[in-house]
Amino acid sequence: MLLHSMKIKFIIASTNGESIVISTITNSAGRCMKRTVLVFFFLLFSLTSIYSQTVIGKYAGEFLAIGVGGRALAMGSAQVAVVNDVTSGYWNPAGLARLNYPQIALMHEEHFGSLVNYNYAAVAIPYGKDMSFGLSLMRSSIDGIPDTRNALYDANGDGILDIHTGDRLDATKITEFSNADWALYLTFAKRQSENFYWGANVKIIRRDLAEYGATGIGFDIGAVYTPIENLFLGANVQDVTTTLVAWSTGRNELITPTAKIGAAYSMLFPGGTIMPVVDFDIHFENRKSASTFAVGPVSFDAHAGFEYKFKNIFAVRAGYNEVKQFTVGAGIFLPKLQVDYSFARFSQSEADRLPDTHRISLILTLEQPKFMRDGM
């Protein structure tokens, strides 16, 4: 069956009388529809959060939940108890105290095919005998979105694009805008004792949608405890004081706290070690059926995974995360460089699921005596 050229149009109205019109023309109706619907809902969530007063933004900080690092995604994003590198600034600030050498991390990901671009960079340094400092930067964006608000030729003056009445879009007046979310993490961690570490984040949030913008600041606290050898327990409370995100329109959004708890146990296995991990996320946003299970306004999401490491040469990983994705991946440990890859696929059938996600990340360790933590 031949699919004819199809025009798909969404009009997103705002309270100031303007509207953003998204129009797409394609010869592949099914693929275009899926992509355009995704763009529409990303914008809808953003635009509906722009207007009115102070509210609890149920998904206001959702872009912060994407995660960082190829290792983490491959293990189902279960990292709270086991993270021990520069990515700790995101997963659990306490883990940064495990560093003995400075590290730099880079990552690029294309979410839902190539719809959402997600980039991450971080640096961390040990300081003194028991402290560490880190800085992490993330950007999630949909770029090149057609803006047709000023491109309408309205033949009958009704303000609605209708090709049957002679209305049309002037292609020379169509511009583009981006929906971009930024987050900057400043991390401090301390070794309180041999088996207990703690840490904290200050994070600055910036959101931009066309000419609208929002800024926020939040705080995270975390801890890692090793009660017995090879057993790791971790906890991280994100947005612990409730994070305020203030839009340029006068609307304020509140991101409620999320508690993450996790456990892992490392065991000897032929040729190396194997480590199963499990995490639970506790939300207070009344997510109900959008979570694994819920009790009143409190909801719970579980994710789990494992890692097999062979003689510190390579690792293989697998997991299942809270958004019902099966994940797999691998890591290679080179001198001073760690390369991690992960692959995630939703559990629905091929016709129903969103595109697969690929992630690759690099961690450079400045493993030289002059950079070693004091007292080692």
SS (H, E, C) 93-159: HHHHHHCCCCEEEEEEEEECCCCEEEEEEEEEEEECCCEEEEEEEEEEEEEEEEECCCCEECCCCCC
- Top mean-pLDDT range of 127-141, 286-300, 316-330: 127-141
Give yes or no for residue 281 having a pLDDT over 50: yes
pLDDT, tens digit (0-9, with 9 covering 90-100), for 204-213: 999 998 888 9
Average of per-residue pLDDT across 158-174: 78
pLDDT score at 27 = 42
Average pLDDT over residues 31-53: 50
- pLDDT > 70? residue 294: yes
Give the β-pairing of 252-255 and 54-56. parallel
Q: Sort residue 148 into left (φ over 0), alpha (ψ -120 to 50) or beta.
A: alpha
User: What is the rounded distance in angstroms from the CA atom of residue 295 to the CA atom of residue 284?
Assistant: 10
pLDDT at 30 exceeding the cut of 90? no
Q: In the prediction, which pLDDT does 31 show?
A: 47
All structural domains of the chain with their residue ranges: 12-18+28-166+170-371
pLDDT band, residue 194 (cuts 50/70/90): very high
pLDDT at 8 over 60: no
Tell me what percent of the residues of the chain surpass a pLDDT of 70: 83
**Mean per-residue pLDDT for 119-128?**
96
N-term to C-term CA, the chain? 69
CATH of domain 12-18+28-166+170-371: 2.40.160.40
The span from the CA of 196 to the CA of 226, in Å, is 7
Across the chain, mean pLDDT equals 83
H-state helical runs in the chain:
29-48, 70-74, 88-91
Give the model's pLDDT for residue 374: 85
d(CA 360, CA 342): 7
**For the ranges 41-50, 98-107, 113-122, 155-164, which has the lowest average pLDDT?**
41-50
> Do 329 and 107 contact (CB within 8 A), yes or no?
no
**pLDDT-derived band at 285, boundaries 50, 70, 90:** confident
Lowest mean pLDDT among 65-69, 146-150, 215-219, 253-257: 146-150
Give the residue among 343, 319, 340 at the shortest CA–CA distance from 330.
340
pLDDT of 59 reads 60
> Is 317 a residue whose pLDDT tops 90?
yes
